[in-house]
Amino acid sequence: KLEQALLDAINAGIAPYPIPDGRKYGYGTAGFRMKANLGLNHVVYTVGLLAAIRAKKRNATIGIMITASHNPAEDNGVKLVDPMGDMLEQSWEGYATVLANTSNEEMAQAYEHLVNETLVDEIRQLQDRPANIVFGRDTRTSGPSLIKALKAALDAVGATYHDYGYLTTPQLHYMVRCVNTQNTPYAFGEATEDGYYKKMANAFKTIMYGRKIHGSVTADCANGVGGPKLQELIKYLPTAAEGGIDIKVINDDVLKPEALNFDCGADYVKTKQKAPPSSKAGPNERCCSLDGDADRVVYYFTDSNGVFRLLDGDRIATLGAVFLAEMAEKAGLSDKLKIGLVQTAYANGASTEYVEKVLKLPVVVTPTGVKHLHHAAARFDIGVYFEANGHGTILFSDNATKTIRETQPKNPGQKHALDSLSASIDLINQTVGDAISDMLFAEVVLAHKAWTMENWLNTYIDLPNRLVRVEVHDRSIFKTEDAERKLVSPKGAQEEITRLVSNYTKGRSFARASGTEDAVRVYAEAYSKHEAEALAKHVADVVKKFGAAPDPRG
Ligand code: G16
């Protein structure tokens, strides 16, 4: 039984944040996401309560990020970050959902119940442990009121906390890992923004030794928090004249809230397969787009014939894998470091074929969501994971890190390769996909290969593809298996999709419910653009048919 004073504090704290009538919440692909005015402050309060329990359970600092990333400006969201900077353990998502759907009247009781359930073995010691939380937010206008609700929850349960203010999502993940590894052999870095920039800039300077970046890169920051943060990082990086990099930042207006992710950003570019209308880049100029909280990045350019060319997450993954495999070989570590790639069903079929047949590396496919890819990547010594939408990173196992850092070079070439691998470990934000870090890494690899955008594009030819968003009556009826490649419900839908796909050369298509938007996503690829588009349209029609509201007359 918890103290009455604590239960009273929980009830008092949540009083201003009731659940609006009829609302149901679920912990989705990346935490809770919705229109901010649909009771998100209630949800955030409950996330604060859960974070405190989780911090006690793990005897570590837990992170909370307030963001809706690529979603429109009026949306917001909240997600929990576990001690090593990774996503909340999946078995706890259920607890998060239960608490979020608990009414104010039952909240203290639900909290008590959860404490008893999760901390059951250790309840006496655990109750006295401190609960330490760190949190940050993106630039959305709903952020401050959500932070207020969060603080009310943390105060009610007596948690200690640090508010980092504005951060990119990956910066928050970085902070959590830094705090939890301080003064250990696994120290990740200094848990400050300055520490984040210094770690990245130092690694960048090391890895740039003997390499030169050609031309500039224009970075569209989706008018989100990545803009000011990238501007800040640039101050730490050597300029092009000093052997560094020339980054031209665009779409970094965070003072106009409605500009966030509007006609710009990684999601716009990937989904529409075109450059933001604001782009002024000339032919063959290197461009990239971040999303609203800077955890995704995609590259693109317009070729000499004026055709838009996209280099998405699949391309960044293969670029990284090519480089790391080459460095591992030069370092004489090919046999010791098992490199593998992790993709989702959205990966272009041509990229999977390239990785398996040309690079001869294994590919694992998981459901959408970094939380799935991350764990699969951790099974390799060097696990490269990217979603086609540009969300991804590279993980180095403890064994890989130790091997790379302890191998004694026998010649200058081997030393350069070992130094490059070692600097990659620091340059890449291993906690989660980080657009800024991924961009610097891609720039380094392009410099190393002396590749133009055209060279990079020519490594393989993407199958034409199309992504469609279909609004349905109730997306929860769309259930999948086989890493989201097949629908098991509604009954009969998959059979229709399979039949359609068989009519197209190199056709592939699937439909799955989004975990961040109220919609079903349809992906299709085929031999020609025309075929990919037709297939996507037909599959979308199937989804519309099966997803239509039930006839009220039965
Ligand atoms: C989030 C997740 C990604 C996922 C994306 C779309 O991205 O972190 O892993 O690919 O949502 O997910 P869904 O198709 O389920 O809506 P972000 O950038 O919004 O955090």
- Which residue's CA is the closest to the ligand 1 atom numbered 6? 516
Q: If you measure from the C-alpha of residue 368 to the centroid of ligand 1, how many angstroms do you get, rounded to a whole number? A: 7
Q: Ligand 1 centre from 238 Cα, in Å?
A: 33
Who has greater pLDDT, 106 or 124? 106
Task: Tell how far the Cα of 93 is from the centroid of ligand 1, in angstroms.
Answer: 16
**Closest atom, ligand 1, to C-alpha of 369:** 9
Share of the chain above pLDDT 70, in %: 99
Read off the pLDDT of residues 428-464 as tens digits, 9 standing for 90 and up.
Answer: 999 999 999 999 999 999 999 999 999 999 999 999 9
Is domain 4-166 annotated with CATH 3.40.120.10? yes
Q: What CATH number has the domain spanning 465-547?
A: 3.30.310.50
In the prediction, which pLDDT does 120 show? 64
Q: What is the number of the ligand 1 atom nearest to the C-alpha of 521?
A: 14
- The sign of the dihedral angle between the CA atoms of 367, 369, 372, 374 is positive
Tell me the CA–centroid distance for residue 28 and ligand 1, in Å: 9
- DSSP SS3 for 442: helix
Find the 126 Cα to ligand 1 centroid distance in Å: 34
Least confident stretch, 68-72, 82-86, 370-374, 548-552: 548-552
Q: Is the peptide bond before 490 cis (omega within 30 degrees of 0)?
A: yes
Contacts of 309 (CB under 8 A, 6+ apart): 300, 301, 302, 303, 453, 457
The band of 221, judged by pLDDT with boundaries at 50, 70 and 90, is very high
Does the domain formed by 313-457 have CATH 3.30.300.160? Answer: no
Centroid of ligand 1 to alpha carbon of 344 (angstroms):
12
Q: Which residues contact 114 (CB under 8 A, 6 or more apart)?
A: 49, 50, 53, 95, 98, 99
Residues within a 6 A CB radius of ligand 1: 29-30, 69-70, 291, 295-296, 368-370, 387, 389, 391, 514-517, 521
Q: 299 CB contacts (<8 Å, ≥6 apart)?
A: 286, 287, 288, 310, 311, 312, 315, 316, 442, 453, 456
Atom of ligand 1 nearest to the CA of 29: 15
Q: What is the pLDDT of residues 394-429, one digit of tens each?
A: 999 999 999 999 999 999 999 999 999 999 999 999
> Distance between CA 193 and CA 167 in Å, rounded?
8
Closest ligand 1 atom, residue 293 Cα: 18
The Å distance, Cα 172 to ligand 1 centre, comes to 17
* Rounded CA separation 82/61 (Å): 8
Cβ-proximal residues to 134 (8 Å cutoff; 6+ apart), any chain: 61, 62, 63, 64, 161, 162, 163, 164, 172, 175, 176, 179, 191
Looking at ligand 1, which residue's alpha carbon is closest to its atom 8?
30
- Looking at ligand 1, which atom is closest to the CA of residue 344? 10
Pocket probe mutation, ligand 1, options 79, 391, 523, max atoms within 8 Å of Cβ: 391
How far, in Å, is the centroid of ligand 1 from the Cα of 553? 37
- To test ligand 1's pocket by mutation, which of 70, 389, 517 has the most ligand atoms within 8 angstroms of CB? 389
Tell me which of 368, 374, 387 to substitute to probe ligand 1's pocket, judged by most ligand atoms within 8 Å of the beta carbon: 368
CA-wise closest residue to 35 among 89, 2, 76, 1: 76
Looking at the annotation, which residues are catalytic?
Answer: 69
122: pLDDT strictly greater than 80: no
Of the pLDDT bands very low, low, confident and very high (cuts 50, 70, 90), residue 125 is low
Ligand 1: residue whose CA is nearest its atom 3: 369
Nearest CA residue ID for atom 20, ligand 1: 69
The predicted structure's pLDDT at residue 124: 63
Give the chain's mean pLDDT: 96
pLDDT at position 121 over 80? no
Q: How far is 321 from 172, CA to CA, in rounded Å?
A: 26
Q: pLDDT digit string (tens) for 206-219?
A: 999 999 999 999 99
Whether 4-166 and 313-457 share one fold: the answer is yes
pLDDT digits over 288-305, tens only? 999 999 999 999 999 999
Confidence of residue 58 (pLDDT cuts 50, 70, 90): very high
What CATH number is given for 197-204+218-296 in this structure?
A: 3.40.120.10
Domain ranges of the chain: 4-166, 197-204+218-296, 313-457, 465-547
- What's the gap in Å between 514 CA and the centre of ligand 1? 8
Whether the predicted pLDDT of 262 surpasses 70: yes
Q: Please name the residue whose Cα sits nearest to atom 14 of ligand 1.
A: 514
Pocket test for ligand 1, best of 27, 29, 87, 344 (most atoms within 8 A of CB): 29
475-518, pLDDT tens digit by residue? 999 999 999 999 999 999 999 999 999 999 999 999 999 998 89
State how far the alpha carbon of 88 is from the alpha carbons of 50, 51, 55, 172, in Å.
Answer: 11, 10, 11, 13
pLDDT for the residue numbered 447: 97
Which atom of ligand 1 is closest in space to residue 389's alpha carbon? 10
Atom of ligand 1 nearest to the CA of 68: 19
